[in-house]
Amino acid sequence: MSRYRGPRLRISRRLGDLPGLTRKKSKKQGPAGEHGHQGRKPSEYALRLEEKQKIRFNYGLNEKQLSINIKAAKKVQGSTGVVLLQILEMRLDNTIFRLGLCPTIPAARQLVNHGHILVNNKTVSICSYQCKPGDIIQIKNKISSQELVKKYMNFPGLANIPNHLELDKKTMSGKVNGIIEREWVALKLNELLVVEYYSRK
């Protein structure tokens, strides 16, 4: 299954607030679809599927990428759900978004893909690059790159930068000081249900 490229508001109406996917708010109140809520209590499978979809769409992953990240999280000591969120939050595209250099994760992904981003003075064009404590993230010293990010910084996606990151607005450079803590993850979801979804497949 490839990455979703359809209407983002439809997804946020169905799954709730996804800060990484879009900053827009729909004027429509009900969930997307012809019939909206049917008033029926969702099954346990439906609840687990919904939480899994929140992660997928917020971080812009396809099914294969998410299952690879789940397998990686299971190999690390600690709560699999929390480790999974940390892996996803430490991705380069998400780190750029959380620094406030981009309004959404898709915008951050485009910056990375087009070679506008330097990590430790080297161009990195892989969105899934795992940022590590001590990494310095900068915008390439090109007028087009600098102007684009300056425009983005006027409309940050989230108000607060998490405590594991720091940003120098003058130089438009960020530093990773550690691994993100669970309470700083902006996405509201129950990660245990995501782990359960994959453990029952």
Q: What is the pLDDT of residue 132?
A: 95
Q: What is the pLDDT of residue 69?
A: 93
Q: What is the CATH number of the domain that holds 122?
A: 3.10.290.10
Q: What is the pLDDT of residue 2?
A: 53
Task: List Cβ<8 Å contacts ≥24 apart for 78-81.
Answer: 80/195, 81/191, 81/192, 81/194, 81/195
> Do residues 166 and 95 share a domain?
yes
Answer whether residue 108 is part of any domain: yes
More confident residue, 6 or 129: 129
Both tokens of 75, joined, read 């190999």
Distance CA 153, CA 139 (A): 12
> Do residues 58 and 103 share a domain?
no
**Where does the pLDDT of residue 1 fall: very low under 50, low under 70, confident under 90, or very high at 90 and above?**
very low
Answer whether residue 2 is part of any domain: no
Cβ-contact 60, 187 below 8 angstroms: no
The DSSP string of 72-139 is HHHTSSS-HHHHHHHHHHTBHHHHHHHTTSSSSHHHHHHHHHTT-EEETTEE---TT-B--TT-EEEE
Q: Residue 33 pLDDT > 90, yes or no? A: no
> Do residues 100 and 60 share a domain?
no
Task: State which residues form the domain around 97.
Answer: 91-178
Question: What does the pLDDT look like over 97-151, one tens digit per residue?
Answer: 999 999 888 899 999 999 999 999 999 999 999 999 999 999 999 998 899 999 8
Give CA 34 to chain center in angstroms.
29
**What is the percent of the chain with per-residue pLDDT over 90, rounded to a whole number?**
46
Number of domains in the chain: 2
H helix or E strand, kind and range, residue 166: strand 165-168
